[in-house]
C-alpha cells in the first residue's frame, strides 16, 4: 500500500516543519498520525502471523521490533551523547540521556519538563516501545478478534474518560498529558482497532459508505484542518480534551479510504515518488530532524523572510541527507535480517474487503 508510505511522509514533514519554526500545532498531529499508523500496522502483522502460524510468537515479535528500532536509534543516541558531549552539559541532560537510552524519556519529560535537546523527541519513541511490550501480550490473552474488538472499544473509551478527568477535573500538566503512555495509548489502540475491524470485516456498512467516492477522502482531511485551526486559536487546552479524540478518529476513518482508492485526490499526492521516498526514510528523518533543524534553522531565527526560508531549505536538505545515510548504512542491513524473520507479512487488506470498499 504505497499510500501508507505517503502517510508516513506527511506525518514526519509536519513534525519537521513544526520544529523549523512554523508556529502551528502541526507537529503534534504528525506524531499522532505515526501512533495510529503504528498501531494499525503492528496489529495487522500480528493478525497475519496468527492466521498463518496459528499463534503469535511474542519473542519473535520483540526481536523483529528490536531489529527495526534499536540500531538506528542507538547510533543516533551515541552521536548526540558521546559525539556532541551532551553528558557534560548538566545533570538534567545526563538524566534525560539515561532515560532516553532505556525508553522512558516520556515520563521523565512529562514529570520534570523538557530540557529541549537533541534527545527531546525520543519521548514518542518511548511511548511506542512501551506499547510494543504490552500489546502483543494482551493480543494473545484476548484469544480471538471478537474479544479484541470489545476490549479495544472498552479500553479506548475508558482512556478517553480518564484523560478528560485528568485534564478538566484534576488539571494535570500539559507536558504529562502530551508525553505519558497512559495519556496517549488510545491513539495507538485506535490503530489496533482499525486493523481488527478491517481484517474481520466489522463495520462493513460504514466502510462501504465512507469509500463510495474517492472525493470523500477530503472530508476527514478538512476536519483535521479545522481541528488544527481550533487548537491554534487558543481555546484553553483544546488539544488535550478535544483534539486528542477528534484527530485519531479522523485518521482512523481516512486510512481505509486511502487503501480503497488508488486514484483519489489525497492518494495521488501520497503516492508521488518523492513522498514515497520520504516515507521510506521517515524513521531516520524523525531521529535526526530535531538535531539538524536546531543547528541550522534556529541559528537564523529572527532574520529576514528570505534568510529564514533559505535556512529551512538547508535544514530540510541536511535532515534528508543524514536520514538517508542512517537508513542505507544502518537501518537497511538490519531490516533485511528482520524481513528474514518476518517472512511475507505485508499489511495488505484482504481482497474481499478491499473489493467491497472499492467501487
Per-residue pLDDT tens over the stretch 224-275 = 999 999 999 989 999 999 999 999 999 999 999 998 887 778 888 888 999 9
pLDDT over threshold 90, residue 105: yes
Question: The pTM is what?
Answer: 0.91
Using one digit for the tens of pLDDT, what is the confidence trace for 133-155?
A: 999 999 999 999 999 999 999 99
The separation between CA 153 and the C-alpha centre of its own chain, rounded to angstroms, equals: 20
- If you write DSSP's letter for every residue of 165-217 in order, what string do you get? IIIIIS---HHHHHH-HHHHHHHHHHHHHHHHHHHHTTTHHHHHHHTS-GGGG
Using one digit for the tens of pLDDT, what is the confidence trace for 265-304?
A: 888 888 899 999 999 999 999 999 988 887 787 777 667 7
Where are the chain's structural domains? 2-357
- Per-residue pLDDT averaged across 2-27, rounded? 86
DSSP assignment, residue 104?
Answer: -
**d(C-alpha 289, C-alpha 27), whole Å:** 12
Give me the pLDDT at residue 251, please.
97
Give me the pLDDT at residue 259, please.
87
**Which position has the higher pLDDT, 296 or 95?**
95
Residue 354 pLDDT level (bands cut at 50, 70, 90):
very low
Give me the pLDDT at residue 131, please.
97
Which of 203, 185, 187 has its CA nearest to residue 149? 203
Q: Where are the alpha helices (DSSP H) in 261-331?
A: 265-270, 273-280, 282-296, 305-326
Q: Does residue 296 contact residue 22 with C-beta atoms inside 8 Å? A: no
Using one digit for the tens of pLDDT, what is the confidence trace for 305-335?
A: 677 778 888 889 999 999 999 999 999 998 8
**CA torsion angle for 124, 256, 3, 287 (degrees, to 10)?**
0
Give me the pLDDT at residue 301, please.
65
- Per-residue pLDDT averaged across 27-55, rounded? 95
Using one digit for the tens of pLDDT, what is the confidence trace for 47-76?
A: 999 999 999 999 999 999 999 999 999 999
State what percent of residues in the chain have pLDDT above 70: 90
Amino acid at each position: 500500500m504505497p499510500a501508507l508510505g505517503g502517510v508516513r511522509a506527511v506525518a514526519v514533514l509536519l513534525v519537521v516543519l513544526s520544529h523549523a519554526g512554523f508556529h502551528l500545532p502541526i507537529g503534534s498531529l504528525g506524531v499522532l498520525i505515526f501512533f495510529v499508523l503504528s498501531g494499525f500496522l503492528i496489529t495487522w502483522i500480528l493478525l497475519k502471523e496468527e492466521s498463518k502460524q496459528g499463534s503469535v510468537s511474542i519473542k519473535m515479535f520483540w526481536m523483529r521490533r528490536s531489529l527495526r528500532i534499536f540500531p538506528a536509534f542507538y547510533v543516533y543516541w551515541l552521536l548526540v551523547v558521546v559525539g556532541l558531549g551532551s553528558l557534560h552539559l548538566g545533570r538534567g541532560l545526563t538524566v534525560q540521556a539515561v532515560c532516553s537510552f532505556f525508553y522512558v524519556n516520556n515520563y521523565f519529560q512529562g514529570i520534570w519538563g523538557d530540557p529541549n535537546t537533541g534527545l527531546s523527541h525520543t519521548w514518542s519513541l518511548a511511548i511506542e516501545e512501551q506499547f510494543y511490550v504490552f500489546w502483543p501480550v494482551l493480543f494473545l490473552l484476548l484469544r480471538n478478534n471478537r474479544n479484541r474488538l470489545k476490549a479495544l472499544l472498552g479500553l479506548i473509551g475508558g482512556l478517553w474518560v480518564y484523560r478528560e478527568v485528568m485534564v478538566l477535573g484534576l488539571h494535570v500538566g500539559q507536558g504529562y498529558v502530551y508525553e505519558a503512555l497512559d495519556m496517549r495509548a488510545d491513539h495507538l489502540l485506535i490503530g489496533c482497532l482499525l486493523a481488527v475491524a478491517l481484517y474481520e470485516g466489522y463495520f462493513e456498512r460504514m466502510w462501504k459508505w465512507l469509500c463510495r467516492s474517492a472525493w470523500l477522502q477530503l472530508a476527514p482531511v478538512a476536519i483535521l484542518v479545522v481541528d488544527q485551526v481550533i487548537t491554534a486559536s487558543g481555546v484553553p487546552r483544546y488539544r488535550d480534551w478535544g483534539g486528542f479524540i477528534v484527530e485519531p478518529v479522523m485518521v482512523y476513518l481516512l486510512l481505509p479510504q486511502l487503501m480503497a482508492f488508488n486514484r483519489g485526490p489525497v492518494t495521488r499526492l501520497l503516492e508521488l515518488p518523492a513522498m514515497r521516498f520520504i516515507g521510506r526514510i521517515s524513521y531516520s528523518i524523525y531521529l535526526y530532524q530535531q538535531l539538524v533543524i536546531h543547528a541550522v534553522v534556529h541559528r537564523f531565527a529572527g532574520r529576514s523572510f528570505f534568510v529564514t526560508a533559505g535556512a529551512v531549505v538547508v535544514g530540510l536538505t541536511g535532515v534528508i541527507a543524514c536520514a538517508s545515510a542512517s537508513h542505507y548504512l544502518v537501518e537497511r542491513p538490519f531490516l533485511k535480517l528482520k524481513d528474514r524473520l518476518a517472512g511475507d507479512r505485508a499489511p495488505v487488506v484482504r481482497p474481499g474487503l478491499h473489493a467491497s470498499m472499492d467501487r
